[in-house]
Amino acid sequence: MIHTKLCDLLDIKYPIMQGGMAWVSTAELAAAVSEAGGLGIIGSGQAPPEWLEEQIAKVKQYTDKPFGVNAMLMSPYADQVMDIIARERVPVVTTGAGNPGKYIPKLKEVGTKVIPVIPSVALAQRMERSGVDAVIAEGGEAGGHIGELATLPLVPQVVDAVSIPVIAAGGIFDGRGLVAALSLGAVGVQMGTRFMCATECVIHDNVKKLLIKAKDRDTIVTGRSTGHPVRIIKNKLAKRFDELEKLSTPPEELEKLGVGKLRAAMVEGDVEYGSVMAGQVCGMLKKVQPAKEIIEEVISGAELLLESLPRRRVK
């Protein structure tokens, strides 16, 4: 069995974290992943505090295993979200779009592990100085909001630059991705897109069908001119973004175009004008399957690969 420092840090069986995706990572998915031995994460996004409280209560009802919450620090509810996480003694919080530094003392008091998602070495070092427990180095292959660096060059540079554990994310789908991440010095992986086709994921069936039909080149990065690039599946919304960016449309107008589009896709099933955030591994998705099966496939695939790798003598 593959056991790493991440398993010890988070008290989980396998070194696999599920990405905390807004409108995607609900209690049903998070609980299923945690119950299967990984770390399930609720994606709070910009949802109101009451919604998060309900989701945490559901997870605790479904499983007694560790779980986490992803806190988007640009959310207008960020302070309240962190208060809830601390009050409910959520075992792990992952963060994005900001510095969690001011919340760390309160979270540490209740034993919550703080793990921010970072896209660069400089930000990883800054987070380490803030006192976080680990970082998730996410490459541009990931779905949703991304940085400039790809996973392969990003992860080893972050590993070399910090002394805290590093989790790899972006472009990871199966056992091959896990082995690659471990070889780069990561202690585990975070996977998002593959879990979108978990049986327990409650996103609209239209999205799952679109993901399964997707090919290797079916994602595109929109919004680079706004300073907040986002990887989504190519559709009419993506085409409109592309047209407006070529016309040098002001960033604020482009931002307005994206408002409410994620929910439109994931909840309402609008895969034409909704924002279907997904990573480049979507071309590898072939079916909907239980989260437990996904995790077991990743682990067994990694173990088989490690056994089959050629062992060469160094002369």
Upper half-sphere CA count for residue 155 (Cβ side, 13 Å) = 29
Give the pLDDT score at 313.
Answer: 55
Would you place residue 128 in the very low, low, confident or very high pLDDT band (cuts 50, 70, 90)? very high
Structure tokens, 196: 């979108």
- List the one residue out of 289, 290, 269 whose CA is nearest residue 210: 269
Distance CA 270, CA 262 (A): 9
Residue 100 · residue 116 · CB < 8 Å: yes
Give the pLDDT score at 256.
Answer: 83
Q: Which CATH number fits domain 5-202+285-302: 3.90.180.10, 3.20.20.70, 3.60.150.10, 3.30.300.30?
A: 3.20.20.70
Give the pLDDT score at 315.
Answer: 52
Alpha helix positions (H), the chain: 5-10, 27-35, 49-62, 78-87, 104-109, 121-130, 151-161, 175-183, 205-213, 236-246, 251-258, 261-266, 291-308
Q: What percent of the chain is predicted at pLDDT more than 90?
A: 83
User: What are the residue boundaries of the structural domains of the chain, listed by start?
Assistant: 5-202+285-302, 205-280
For residue range 155-203, list pLDDT tens digits in order: 999 999 999 999 999 999 999 999 999 999 999 999 999 999 999 999 9
pTM of the model as a whole: 0.93
Question: Is residue 312 predicted with pLDDT exceeding 60?
Answer: no
Q: Which residue has the higher pLDDT, 227 or 188?
A: 188
Q: What percent of the chain is predicted at pLDDT more than 70?
A: 98
Question: Is residue 205 predicted with pLDDT exceeding 70?
Answer: yes
Average pLDDT, the chain: 94
Give the pLDDT score at 274.
Answer: 95
Residues 6+ apart with CB under 8 A from 247: none
Distance CA 95, CA 118 (A): 9
